[in-house]
Structure 1
Amino acid sequence: MRSISRKFQVSFIVAVFAIAGLASCSKDNEAEVIVPQIVAPGLKDGKDTIYIGDSRVLSPQLAEVKNPTFLWLVNGVQVSTDSTYTFTAAERGDYTISYKIISGNALATYYYRIKVLGKFENGFFLVNEGQYGKENGDVNFYRNGEDSVYQYVFKRNNPGKQLGQTTDYGAIYKNKLYLVSKQGAFVVADPGTMKETGRIDQLPAFANSFCGVNSSTGLIGTADGVYPVNLQTLALGTKLAGVTGQVGGMVAAEGYIIVMSETQGMVALNNTDLSVAKILGPADVGFTRTPDGTVWAARNNMLFAINANNLKMDTVTVPFPVYGAWGAWNAGMLSASTIENAVFIGKTNAWGAGGREVYKYAVGNPNSLNAPFVTIPAGREMYGAGVRYNPGNNTIVVTDVKSGYGDNYKDNTLYIYDASSGSLKKSVNFMGFFFPAMPLFN
């Protein structure tokens, strides 16, 4: 048994049952036992990771087999008696597939281990504005390690449905994906399958952002203040009295929700009753959080560090202006690491777009801002909130378009950089008038 296991590097159990000569102690009367051999399982190491909807044909190669019968079980439940078995992934989970072959007077067994992920679990989303006046927003998906971008994954998984116009923001909260469009529907979907689970067809004002408060309450930032939404029923509440003007970024921080208003500046709300706790001052870009709990925002040459416990604020001088985009709001190029106290800043033009450089501010070290951390190639420019830290693999994701106008905007590139060294790990070019709004991680 051990020599067979070493030779083929497969793990199987052979049970031998003598069916003749049991009444005699004489070796001459014993029946010959022929052990079936699983030469190769047909699946490397008997293990695989696949996605919902995928299939794997399991067809072991055999030797020393005579008049065999077969049995397949999935997690202990019999599913087939054929010589091969096709496993089709219907639900997420871990599956043990048992293969048994009975040949003559012996039995051999092999165990396969297959992990099933959601279609959109092993990678990240690219939320897209869409081409205004011609095509509504949608979502693309990049699967880790691949060299292509899956396009229009919302539309493809929800036939007959679409997002609103200029989809500028997405958030994943308590395993639900919230997609915000400036005009039209506010949509909720399953981030594993991209199947829509609910929507509000029309909001009271142009919408910019979403922030989860608790399992039953969320906030929608609009061009006319903040509206609470019941996350169970999607019933929209009355506009919050304490926040006025256009609202952009929002973040949940300890006992507060910090909201960015174009007219009031940063407004801290008590997360218990959503009343105003404190107005912190003006800002244009934000929010993001470092592992020490600090909330970060920016305006002009200032980076604001907000203590989430007591709302005290410190200011860090940045050697270049950090612009917002209130005229055509997007979430901004400010994103923090989750494993080190560092903030990544995309250097843009005065309209909060364009630019080729990303800086990494190591908290407490102003010299870290003396030179860019990464620079995208010449002839390209960042777009939307196109700088985001990916906590799943410690990388920086940057999206861009070809510099210029017109058809240049359909020439997109996705870059993935190591967040520790700044080295380029992957670049993927893809075509289409997507107008990328922001990367979003599941």
Structure 2
Amino acid sequence: MKNHFFSRPLIAIASLMLLTVSCNNDDDFTAPPAIKGEQQLKDTLTIGKTLQLSSKIADRNNVVFEWAVDGNVVGSDSTYTFKPETRGDFKITMTAKNNGGKVSLTYDIHTFGAYENGFYMINEGWFGHGTGTVGFYRYDTKAIEDSVFVKVNPDKNLKPESSTLEFGTIFNKKLFLVSKVGGPVVVADAYSLKEEKRIPAQGGNDWRAVVGIDENQALLTSSKGIFKLNLNTMTLNGQIEGVTGQVGDIVKANGYIFALSSSKGVIVINASTLVVEKTIPSMVLGFAVTDDKKVWAAGGKKLISIDSNTLEVKEIAIGFQAYGSWGAWHPGSIVAAKNNVFIAKNGSFSGGKEIYKYNGDEASLATPFITLTQSNILYGAGIGYDRKKNSLVVNTVNEGFGTNFAINNLYLFNADSGVKKETISFSGYYFPAVSVFH
């Protein structure tokens, strides 16, 4: 995707006027510059782009300009071009001086990292034809940038081609990418996407998902249980005792870790001792964590909430069969938005067309919140929640096989009303897995 040059005049300085008046005693004096309009301005831009600030005055004779960034003088022209090299908050101050005095205006600018002002799209890739990819949907351009991981890291890859990139999450300002079938686990800076560490690809690896416990350790699920991961060295340090077989989605809430097992349902692990404290059988779909710290899963024809303080379980009838994805694992089609829960009505193999919203009232599950039209079906997790924009993010392909998988749509719905806000259509065998949000 193209990066567009970002230029915007500082309009509020447009009326700096030099006023010359005469006193009663005929002694001339010069009035200091005066600013009309706002005295405090704000804006944002992304690293790699520039912001052009300019002062337009009627008469520039005998006027001296000074530009400072965070107190450091950076220019003396009537214009200044700001091109940040780091993300963060900056104060740019323009001071105009003449013989009568001076006046200043401060401009507050937040600089986004190269991959901050939007969300990641993790794609599993076309099995056997190429690796998974990382895309990025950018808020300001409303466009998807393709294969950004390998563009930022040209000396890195996500091979082998027989692996599938299936999971991503952001923890402690790091983006974790997890591959199945012999692929790597990669840790990159969440804002720049520069790779920092990895578990190398290796035959026998078959990872699923990862959750951070603290800044030093995480748990990594796999087809063979749950592994303890040292985040400093990216080495494995044993497994969770008593957990075998395929384990997929995993989340942390309060003092517990909740993992989804193909054989045992929900496994509740004490985050301090890493000992299994409880299992909740027959659950096949997880997890969503609402703002009240309840953890949500589904199985059979019921949705359950788990109080992450007491581990109390409550059941809600959903009226349809909940399906997992153990045959060809992908992250679960369930997500929280504040204290609401969205759950997809998927088929036993292929994606579904209906998304339900539970708002605490069982009546809210009587009809779908969103029903996909035409040939669209969900793929991968299919749904995600973008808190910054209060959007339900939906990924679809076309129903059927073959070339239908190359017909993709990204839909953004208002999470409160269900009104569709944006549609981005694109082509290619991406096979979307999950969206990842800052």
Q: TM-score, normalised by structure 2?
A: 0.88
Q: 1:26 to 1:314 in 2, by over 3 A?
A: closer
* 1:12 CA drift (Å): 8.7
Corresponding position of 2:107:
112
Structure 2 distance, partners of 1:102, 1:292, is 55
8 Å contact 2:395–2:411 — kept in the other structure? Answer: yes
Counterpart mapping for 1:193-232 below 5 A: 193-202=192-201, 205-232=205-232
Superposition misfits of 4+ residues, deviation over 6 angstroms: 11-18, 37-41
Aligned to 1:152: 147
Partner of residue 397, structure 1: 393
What residue in structure 2 maps to residue 417 of structure 1? 413
Tell me how far apart the structure 2 counterparts of residues 145 and 86 of structure 1 sit (CA, whole Å).
Answer: 20
1:349 and 2:347 equivalent?
yes
Corresponding residue of 2:426? 430
Greater Cα offset, 205-214 or 253-262: 253-262
State whether residues 128 and 137 of structure 1, in contact with CA within 8 Å, keep that contact through their aligned partners in structure 2: yes
Aligned partner of 2:278 in structure 1 is: 278
CA displacement 1:270-311 (0-9 Å, x = unmatched): 222212212221321101122333211112322222232333
Q: Give the 5 Å matches for 1:125-144.
A: 125-144=120-139
Q: Which sits farther off after the overlay, 51-60 or 323-332? A: 51-60
The alpha-carbon distance between structure 1 residues 11 and 311, as it changes in their structure 2 partners (threshold 3 A), is same
Alpha-carbon offset, residue 220 of structure 1? 0.6
Shift of 1:82: 2.9
Cα deviation digits, residues 18-53 of structure 1 (max 9, x gap): 9xx9xxx9833x244276677999xx9853210112
Would the aligned equivalents of 2:296 and 2:306 in 1 still touch at CA under 8 Å? yes
Q: CA RMSD in A?
A: 2.8
Structure-2 residue corresponding to 1:3: none
Q: Aligned letter for 1:282?
A: S
Residue aligning to 1:80: 75
Task: Provide the rounded CA distance (Å) in 2 between the counterparts of 1:38 and 1:336.
Answer: 47
Identity of aligned pairs, percent?
Answer: 36
CA contact (8 A) 2:397 2:408 kept: yes
CA distance in 1 between counterparts of 2:34 and 2:337 reads: 51
The 2-side partners of 1:304 and 1:40 are apart by: 55
Conserved in 2, the CA contact under 8 Å of 1:269 and 1:277?
yes
Q: CA deviation at 1:77?
A: 0.6
Q: Which moved more, 1:225-234 or 1:286-295?
A: 286-295
Q: TM-score, normalised by structure 1?
A: 0.88
> What 5-or-longer segments of structure 2 have no aligned partner?
1-10
Contact 2:175 2:190 in 1 (8 A): yes
Deviation of 1:420 (Å):
1.4
Residue from 368, 371, 376 that aligns with 2:367:
371
**Cα shift readout 1:154-202 (whole Å, capped 9, x = no counterpart):** 1121122122431111111122111101132100111111111111103
* Aligned-partner residue type, residue 192 of structure 1: Y
Cα deviation, residue 11, structure 1: 9.3
Is the alpha carbon distance of 1:10 and 1:225 closer, same or farther for their aligned partners in structure 2, counting shifts above 3 Å? Answer: same
Alignment CA distance shift 1:430-1:62 (3 Å): same
- SS for the counterpart of 2:252 is strand
Deviations 1:342-393 (A, max 9, x none): 2111111111x32211011222x22221211011221111100011222223
SS of the equivalent of 1:408 reads helix
Q: Is the 8 A contact 1:36 1:64 kept in 2?
A: no
CA displacement at 1:111 relative to structure 2: 2.9
One-letter amino acid of the counterpart of residue 147, structure 2: Y
How far apart are residue 13 of structure 1 and its match? 8.6
Whole-angstrom distance in 1 between the partners of 2:31 and 2:385: 59
Tell me the secondary structure at the aligned position of residue 229 of structure 1.
Answer: strand
Helix, strand or coil at the partner of 1:236: strand
Q: Do the aligned partners of residues 404 and 145 (structure 1) sit closer, same or farther apart at CA in structure 2, a change above 3 Å counting?
A: farther
Deviates more, 1:416-425 or 1:96-105: 96-105
- Count of aligned residue pairs for this structure pair: 423
Aligned to 1:306: 306
Q: Please state whether the residue corresponding to 1:237 is helix, strand or coil.
A: strand
Tell me what 1:57 maps to: 52
Is 1:181 aligned to 2:176, yes or no? no
Q: CA deviation at 1:133?
A: 1.7
Q: Is the 8 A contact 1:13 1:109 kept in 2?
A: no
Rate the CA distance shift 1:231–1:63 in 2: closer, same or farther, 3 A: same
Judge conservation of contact 2:390–2:414 (CA < 8 Å) in 1: yes
CA separation of 1:140 and 1:31: change in aligned 2, threshold 3 A: same
My pick for the range that moved more, 173-182 or 255-264, is 255-264
Q: What's the counterpart of residue 3 of structure 2?
A: none
Q: Match for 1:86: what amino acid?
A: T
For the structure 1 residues 11 and 321, does the alpha-carbon distance in structure 2 shift closer, same or farther, using more than 3 Å as the test?
A: same
Q: 1:34 to 1:337 in 2, by over 3 A?
A: closer
Deviations 1:386-431 (A, max 9, x none): 1122222322111111222222222211111111111111111122
CA–CA separation in structure 1 for the residues paired with 2:24 and 2:316: 91
Segment drifting more, 170-179 vs 104-113: 104-113
Note the alpha carbon deviations across 1:243-295, whole angstroms, 9 max, x for none. Answer: 00011111213332122111232222222221221222132110112233321
Q: CA deviation at 1:9?
A: 5.3
Amino acid at match of 2:359: A
